[in-house]
Amino acid sequence: MRLTQPFALCALATTLLPVAGAGAQTDATFDRCLAAVRTSRVARGISATTWRELDGVRPDSAVLAQLDAQPEFRLPIWDYVAVMADDERVADGTRLLREHRALFERVEQRFGVDAATVAAVWGIESNFGRGTGTFDVVRSLATLGCLGRRQAYFRGELIGALRILQGGHITRDQFRGSWAGAFGQTQFMPGIFWGRAVDFDGDGRRDLMRSTADALASTANYLRIAGWRPGVPWGIEVRLPQGPAQVFDPHREGRRIRRPLSAWVTRGVTRVDGSPLLRAGISPVLPAGLFRPAGSTGPAFLVTANFEAIYRYNAAESYALAIAHLADRLRGAGPIVAAWPTDDPGLSRADRRELQRLLAARGHAIGAPTGLLTPPVRAAVKLEQVRLGQPPTGRPGQRLLSALRER
């Protein structure tokens, strides 16, 4: 969970005060801000001992540099889905579903959210607990609350983080997460923690960092409160009827404009393989909206309220689709059938690592093949694209990977 509506970063639009090079003036602004937060009404109940967790904290310029870099808002959707729901994550998730079967069954019984969906969130948010973030959550939230956008919101999140520390749910040295303050195996914001996190292992703490049980149960609880309906599919990949009389006006259709499945049947919509839309166990009155994440020439889906529940976890359509699709893959389904509207499909993490090895073999200093598209990797990609006569976008796709394999 990064920032969900109404807190989505894409909606934040105030002026950013620079940190880098601002020196004493920025430090003074930061200190005055923290002093004001400490005496504010929302800070009541925070002890003097807990406030000492902010002693010596300085703003983190690396946090502000991340504000406009969220991949779910920056990458083409075919790139995002390719890397987030790749075969490697499917294999890991399938194995972990087996290993934690009893836990997933208890979570589903308690909260009504199926194991595959919870596992998909776990996999995409932290690679199944392997990458929960390295930023100091308190420092990040103090920085954003005093020098970033939407300062009032982040100050509230800072107070929420201090309450988590004060409640003994986590220690300061363990309180590491994303640059925006999300933390734990399924990346909760501190403000969300208080209304959604649960102590599922019974140790008296809601420990989203070290307790897989607490993390998975808290995620299921979040989705339940967001409107998840047990036994209802998130969506169905569909084929729309062709012909001039069958235009689906994008201004009159959308994922939130829901019609009963029976109405879509009447309009000639089928499953993507041409089979009937309705099957046993699916109600013809189930409301679903048309979702075409890449426009009229890409894949099409009919999505239900469960897709919206996932969307509320992180307000980005690409994120919600990646979670939903990964969950389907964990249930044994295949890839999305319809082609994305691109002649240069995205790369999986294994593809990215291979690309980096090929770039390194050509003399580019890009570091170890981690699969991350760092600035040095993108710079090397541009140089190779120029050499190969491709547009120098810095975006690596299958076209570049194939060309490097051959030369």
291 and 175, same structural domain? no
CA separation (Å) from 328 to 1, 321, 324? 20, 10, 6
Classify residue 208: in a domain, yes or no: no
| 237 three-class SS | strand
Q: d(Cα 51, Cα 30) in Å, to the nearest integer?
A: 15
Residue 158 has pLDDT above 90, yes or no: yes
185 and 243 housed in the same domain? no
Tell me if 207 is assigned to some domain. Answer: no
Distance CA 179, CA 141 (A): 8
pLDDT exceeds cutoff 80 at 20: no
Q: For residue range 301-350, what is the model confidence (pLDDT) as tens digits?
A: 999 999 999 999 999 999 999 999 999 999 999 999 999 999 999 999 99
- Give 17's DSSP letter: P
Is there a single domain that holds both residue 259 and residue 147?
Answer: no
Share of the chain above pLDDT 90, in %: 85
Do 138 and 65 lie in one domain? The reply is yes
Q: State whether 295 and 387 are in the same domain.
A: no
Residue 221 located in a structural domain: no
Instruction: Output the CA angle 145-150-154, nearest 5 degrees.
Output: 35
Token representation of residue 69: 């870099």
- Read off φ and ψ for residue 384, nearest 5 degrees: -70, -35
Q: Over 70: is that where the pLDDT of 275 sits?
A: yes
| pLDDT score at 95 | 98
Which DSSP string do the residues of 248-304 spell out, in sequence order? --TTT--TTS-EEHHHHHHTT-EETTSS-S--TT--TT-EEEEE-TT-TTS-EEEE-
Could you tell me if 299 and 242 lie in one domain? yes
Residues 55 and 137 in one domain: yes
Helix (H, G, I), strand (E, B) or coil at 238: strand
Could you list the residue range(s) of the whole structural domain that residue 252 is in? 235-303
CA 90 – CA 311 distance, rounded (Å): 21
DSSP-derived 3-state class of residue 135: strand
C-beta of residue 138 within 8 angstroms of C-beta of residue 345: no
Structural domains of the chain, count: 3
Structure tokens at 94: 């399938």
In a domain, 163, yes or no: yes
Per-residue pLDDT reduced to its tens digit, 43-71: 999 999 999 999 999 999 999 888 766 56
Which residues, 6+ apart, have CB-to-CB distance to 1 below 8 Å? 125, 182, 186, 187, 188, 189, 192, 222, 313, 314
The two tokens of residue 91 are 């294999």
Question: Is residue 384 located within the same domain as residue 279?
Answer: no
Measured in whole angstroms, the distance separating CA 35 from the mean position of its chain's CA atoms is 33
Query: Does one domain contain both 157 and 18?
Result: yes
Phi, psi of 145, rounded to the nearest 5 degrees: -70, -20
Looking at residue 186, which CATH number applies to its domain? 1.10.8.350
* The pLDDT value given to residue 18: 43
Q: Are residues 244 and 296 in the same domain?
A: yes
Residue 82 located in a structural domain: no
pLDDT at 245: 54
- Whether residue 110 is contained in a domain is answered as no
Residue 374, domain member (yes or no): yes
Residue 2 confidence class, pLDDT cut points 50, 70, 90: low
Backbone torsions φ then ψ of 305, nearest 5 degrees: -60, -25
Supply the pLDDT for residue 243: 67
- The answer to the question of residue 106 being in a domain is no
Point out the domain boundary residue: 265, 288, 303.
Answer: 303
154 & 39 share domain:
yes
CB 364 within 8 A of CB 378: no
Phi/psi at 307 (5° precision):
-65, -40
Q: How much of the chain is in helix, strand and coil states, percent to nearest 5?
A: 50, 5, 45
Q: H or E stretch including 111?
A: helix 101-111
355 lies in the same domain as 283: no
Residue with structure tokens 């920085």? 143
Give the pLDDT confidence of 223-272 residue by residue, as tens digits. Answer: 999 999 999 999 999 999 986 556 688 778 999 999 999 999 999 999 99
Task: Tell me: pLDDT of 360 over 60.
Answer: yes
